[in-house]
Amino acid sequence: MSTTSIEPGDLYLAEILFTSGEAAKVRPALVLWLDADDCVVCLITSVGPRGERDVVLQDWSQAGLLRSSTCRIGRLTTIEQRLLFRRIGRLSERDAHQLAQAWYTHNRPGWDIIPW
């Protein structure tokens, strides 16, 4: 883990466990929030968007990514902060705004317990 403090909006290379739990892969991740020694991250991929919860990053190069990238706000995971290897950059204000719009529009529970 980097010696700098971790902040929401930072992009890191992180060890992300596959959903099967059988292996892990180092991949870019966007830090969304911190929770004690853990953090909630959003997965970043070079694959194009698959749906409304995928946000294409306009300023991917400025953020330290090597290729055009998509932030999958529907693919959140909680990891220990120690699994964040190296800070690669920070989300631009423009991409942060776009991500926030998609978050508030599309990320809500898939059940109707509370009528939103």
Residue 114 has pLDDT above 90, yes or no: no
Q: What is the pTM of this model?
A: 0.85
* Higher per-residue confidence, 115 vs 46: 46
Cβ neighbours of 106 (radius 10 Å): 14
Of all residues in the chain, what percent carry a pLDDT higher than 90?
Answer: 72
Q: Which two tokens stand for residue 16?
A: 């992300």
**Fold adopted by 10-106:** SH3 type barrels. (2.30.30)
Is pLDDT larger for residue 26 or for residue 18?
26
Q: What pLDDT, on a 0 to 100 scale, did the predictor assign at position 111? A: 63
Predicted confidence at residue 23, as pLDDT, reads 80
User: What is the average pLDDT across 27-55?
Assistant: 94
pLDDT of residue 19: 74
pLDDT (0 to 100) of residue 2:
41
Summarised one tens digit per residue, pLDDT across range 48-105 is: 999 989 999 999 999 999 999 999 998 899 999 999 999 999 999 999 999 999 999 8
Asked if residue 5 has pLDDT above 70, the reply is yes
Integer angstrom CA distances of residue 41 from 62, 79, 107, 113: 19, 8, 14, 26
